[in-house]
Amino acid sequence: MAPTLPPPGPRQIGVRTQIWPEYGGRVTTLRTAHTCDLDPTELRAARALMDEAFDGDFTDADWDHGLGGVHALVCDDSGLLLAHGSVVQRRILHNGRSLRAGYVEAVAVRPDRQRQGLGGQVMGALERVIDRAYVLGALSASDEGQRLYLARGWREWKGSVGTLGPEGVIHMPDEEPPLLWGAGADLDPVHELLIDWRDGDVF
């Protein structure tokens, strides 16, 4: 049975917006909240959505990467979680600067509610967070997801990438380049983009 989130209460801190989607004509609620303001039921529902949307190909490490930042959750009027995404802070080193980046993680929509604008609702909320709180946004996209992001104005990084690992710089010539949001002309592809190290997939 699909997880249903509890009705609004004193513990549910965040910003809520009622939305009438372009597709389906159904009222949904978009909520943004930090990980610390989500109760265990909400986090379990979001984790279960990842397994459902990615057909089991979403690891605990992948989920951990999406915690510690701001979540966007879309629910229907019964409280059923339909879509989720989060943005967490990371550091990108580029041309002698350390840039505060909002990294998008754990974006998913219930399989039976895809292509109804819900992913766009989630991304709109996360992009607003990036615009207000970070120098730029970044994400690693699947082939299917890339179409959504490029249509929204995300741009593919044209330079080389790597990471600053425990033993120094690690070049990653075979890594798919990330998509960037709001970077403008400040990033020069002549210089390598180095993202901070983490367990699991670096990008």
pLDDT digits (tens, 9 = 90+) for 91-112: 999 999 999 999 999 999 999 9
Q: How confident is the model at residue 11, as a pLDDT? A: 46
Is 6 domain-assigned? no
Is 201 domain-assigned? no
> What pairs with residue 165 in β-bridges?
168
**pTM: predicted TM-score of the whole model, two decimal places:** 0.88
Q: How confident is the model at residue 143, as a pLDDT? A: 83
How many whole angstroms separate alpha carbon 67 and alpha carbon 89?
10
- How far, rounded to the nearest angstrom, does the alpha carbon of residue 19 sit from its chain's CA centroid? 20
Is 83 domain-assigned? yes
Task: Look up the domain containing 49 and give its range.
Answer: 15-196
Is 37 domain-assigned? yes
φ and ψ at residue 149, rounded to 5 degrees: -70, -45
193 closest CA partner among 184, 201, 203: 203
Is 203 domain-assigned? no
Asked if the model's pLDDT at residue 154 lies above 50, the reply is yes
81 closest CA partner among 57, 116, 46: 46
Contact 104, 125 (CB under 8 A): no
Please give the average per-residue pLDDT across 101-129, as a whole number.
96
CA angle 181, 29, 76 (to 5 degrees): 120
Please give the average per-residue pLDDT across 9-36, as a whole number.
68
Is 64 domain-assigned? yes
Is 102 domain-assigned? yes
Domain harbouring 95, CATH code? 3.40.630.30
* pLDDT averaged over every residue in the chain: 89
Asked if the model's pLDDT at residue 203 lies above 50, the reply is yes
The pair of three-digit structure tokens given for residue 178, joined into one six-digit string = 């990330």
pLDDT digits (tens, 9 = 90+) for 39-94: 999 999 999 999 999 998 999 999 999 999 999 999 998 999 999 999 999 999 99
Asked if the model's pLDDT at residue 184 lies above 70, the reply is no
Separation in Å, CA 59 to CA 42, 46, 66, 90: 18, 13, 11, 20
User: Total structural domains in the chain?
Assistant: 1
pLDDT band at 144; cut points 50, 70, 90: confident
> What pairs with residue 148 in β-bridges?
none
Task: Say what percent of the chain tops pLDDT 90.
Answer: 79
How many whole angstroms separate alpha carbon 94 and alpha carbon 158?
13
By mean pLDDT, which of 23-27, 109-113, 173-177, 181-185 is the weakest? 23-27
Q: How confident is the model at residue 145, as a pLDDT? A: 84
Coil/strand/helix, residue 52:
helix
122: left (phi over 0), alpha (psi -120 to 50) or beta: alpha
Is 44 domain-assigned? yes
